[in-house]
Amino acid sequence: MKVKNICCIGAGYVGGPTMAIIAQKSPEITVTVVDINEKRIAAWNDPDVEQIPIYEPGLSEVVAEARGRNLFFSTDVDAAIDAADMIFISVNTPTKTYGMGKGMAADLKYIELCARQIARVAKNDKIIVEKSTLPVRTAEALKRILDNTGNGVNFQILSNPEFLAEGTAVTDLHKPDRVLIGGDLDSEKGREAIQALVDVYAHWVTPDNILTTNVWSSELSKLTANAFLAQRVSSINAMSELCEVTEADVQEVAKAIGMDSRIGPKFLKASVGFGGSCFQKDILNLVYIAKSFGLNEVADYWEQVILMNDHQKRRFAAKIVKTLFNTVSGKKIALLGWAFKKDTNDTRESAAIYVADYLLNEQAEIVVYDPKVTQEQILADLDYLGTRSEEENRKLITVVNTAEAACAEAHAVAVMTEWDEFKTLDWEAIYTHMLKPAFLFDGRRLLDKEALTDLGFEFYAIGS
């Protein structure tokens, strides 16, 4: 079977870029991305392609090429489901904030709503592709809903987790390390469905890089990959604290161990803590699944990765307070960067949110500059924590449009996100306009310690 019409439910950080690339590379397939969020769809359709709702290097060019040709964005979910022979589910699966599994399990209500809607609308056979990261065996629940509430048509369920990282989504999608497709390898129809999806990716991915497995291995591989990656960050961050009390330097240690081909050099950058929508959520989910099978040692093992990360964020904020003579009350502290990493406007679980919250509890005045994050988002992130009233947050936080404005008259500056532009700021001028002693805290190991110390800064970097 050849896929001619694809629908993707969910126009977010995963669905949007993935579908844009599929459409770009497969001109004969019509791709419709739908979302219930009208504002988001309107932004994807904005005539000015720079206004699309997600900032990713290279993405607006891809959208400009395919949009209106074979890539469409719409709020008419039913129509897109009806027309499609393959449906990707890319809706959000946040950590539950209520009831059983609160704070750990993935909330599958959006997925279930999708399944029920597909079952109600579908009048012919369809292939359903899980794109969102889901707990192991979600496909089974999906299948039961589809088969029991549908119109008697056949649904094949595939798991096709997305491994793109934000900030590099376009290059990751163009040249994936691997594409993973899980399906029912034991049945003819299952193998046909797998092949149909393999054929979509074969437009631009070499066959050797397309892996097929059973559904459960595919679902679990996604959680495992994120858990391993996060574990590397927590491991190097644990060493960063040890480096600070010995005379070791975490960058030198990372380089030395990374040259061991069994360890490898990537993902060993000490930082103020990992953020992003995936790592914490997926590990909590893994922990919850392990516990639900009674595997307490497995659960405890992975939970340490999160505990270490929480500790790293707290310890960075505490370091600021301690260095500023044990009080930041009424002091202006500039945070450079709010996004959870560079080259994205995404702030979900960003370390900056937690560091700011800690400093606000110490009555600091926080000024934030981030090249891509809006004031509205920054305030929403803090309000979401619920630590203090919305009025208080607005009183204590200021968001400005340049790094220089953020740092002027500040007691301390903290680099929270590794934006390239922070490397080339006029640090001499910034120093001149700060209060003295001028404290600079580098949470990303981005800046040149020697040069900044020479300018007069009291400089602290994670891990040395």
- Which of 7, 8, 243, 278 is flagged as catalytic? 278
Q: Which of 184, 179, 181, 174 is nearest to 154 (CA)?
A: 184
Residues 12/41, Cβ–Cβ less than 8 Å = no
Subset of 274-333 contacting ligand ADP (CB under 6 A): 277
- Among 43, 79, 113, 405, the residue binding ligand ADP under the rule CB under 6 A is 113
- Among 5, 45, 92, 217, the residue binding ligand ADP under the rule CB under 6 A is 92
Q: Is 161 in the site for ligand ADP (CB under 6 A)?
A: no
What are the residues whose beta carbons fall under 8 Å from the beta carbon of 389, sequence distance 6 or more? Answer: none
- Among 20, 26, 40, 87, the residue binding ligand ADP under the rule CB under 6 A is 40
Residues 182/214, Cβ–Cβ less than 8 Å = yes
What does 340 interact with, of ligand ADP, ligand UDX, none (CB < 5 to 8 A by kind)? ligand UDX
Residues 352/417, Cβ–Cβ less than 8 Å = yes
Q: How many residues lie near ligand ADP (CB under 6 A)? A: 21
Only segment of 78-86, 108-116, 139-147, 424-432 that touches ligand ADP (CB under 6 A): 108-116
What are the residues whose beta carbons fall under 8 Å from the beta carbon of 107, sequence distance 6 or more? Answer: 93, 94, 95, 96, 97
What does 15 interact with, of ligand ADP, ligand UDX, none (CB < 5 to 8 A by kind)? ligand ADP
Q: Is 91 in the site for ligand ADP (CB under 6 A)?
A: yes
- Among 7, 8, 10, 234, the residue binding ligand ADP under the rule CB under 6 A is 10
Strand partners, 182: 159, 213
For 235, counting Cβ atoms within 10 Å of its Cβ (0-12 exposed, 13-18 middle, 19+ buried), the class is middle
Residue 437: cis peptide before it, omega within 30 degrees of 0: yes
C-alpha span between 127 and 33 (Å, rounded)? 16
Mapped onto helix, strand or coil, the DSSP state of residue 113 is helix
* 16 marked as binding residue: no
CB of 43 to ligand UDX, least distance (A): 20
CB of 31 to ligand ADP, least distance (A): 15
For 376, counting Cβ atoms within 10 Å of its Cβ (0-12 exposed, 13-18 middle, 19+ buried), the class is exposed
C-alpha span between 381 and 361 (Å, rounded)? 15
What does 110 interact with, of ligand ADP, ligand UDX, none (CB < 5 to 8 A by kind)? ligand ADP
CB of 409 to ligand UDX, least distance (A): 29
For 49, counting Cβ atoms within 10 Å of its Cβ (0-12 exposed, 13-18 middle, 19+ buried), the class is middle
* 133 marked as binding residue: yes
* Nearest residue to ligand UDX, by Cβ distance, number only: 276
Residues 31/4, Cβ–Cβ less than 8 Å = no
Q: If residue 334 lies in a helix (H) or strand (E), which one and from where to where?
A: strand 332-336
CB of 146 to ligand ADP, least distance (A): 15
Residue 265: cis peptide before it, omega within 30 degrees of 0: no
Adjacency order of strands within the sheet including 155-159: 71-74, 30-34, 5-9, 86-89, 126-130, 155-159, 179-183, 210-214
Annotated catalytic, 278? yes
- Among 6, 7, 8, 13, the residue binding ligand ADP under the rule CB under 6 A is 13
What does 257 interact with, of ligand UDX, ligand ADP, none (CB < 5 to 8 A by kind)? none
Which residue is associated with the tokens 């449906």? Answer: 87
The length of the chain in residues reads 464
CB of 459 to ligand UDX, least distance (A): 20
Q: Build a one-symbol-per-residue string for 41-80: x at contacts with ligand ADP by CB under 6 A, - elsewhere.
A: ------------------------------------x---
The tokens of 445 are what?
């190991």
* 192 marked as binding residue: no
Q: Cβ closer to ligand UDX: 17 or 190?
A: 17
How far is C-alpha 389 from the geometric centre of its chain's CA atoms?
27
Query: Residue 22 is which amino acid?
Result: I
Residues contributing to the site for ligand UDX (CB under 6 A)? 162-166, 226, 229, 233, 267-269, 271, 274-276, 278-279, 340-341
First CA to last CA across the chain, in angstroms? 58
Q: Cβ closer to ligand UDX: 271 or 393?
A: 271
Strands 332-336 and 412-415: parallel
CB of 363 to ligand UDX, least distance (A): 27
Q: Is 338 in the site for ligand ADP (CB under 6 A)?
A: no
* 166 marked as binding residue: yes
Q: Cβ closer to ligand ADP: 13 or 316?
A: 13
Residue ranges of the annotated binding site for NAD(+) are: 10-15, 35, 40, 91-95, 132-133, 166, 278-281, 348
The set of catalytic residues is 278
Q: Report the interface residues with ligand ADP, using CB under 6 A.
A: 9-15, 34-37, 40, 77, 90-92, 110, 113-114, 132, 277
Residue ranges of the annotated binding site for substrate are: 162-166, 222-226, 262, 269-275, 340-341, 444
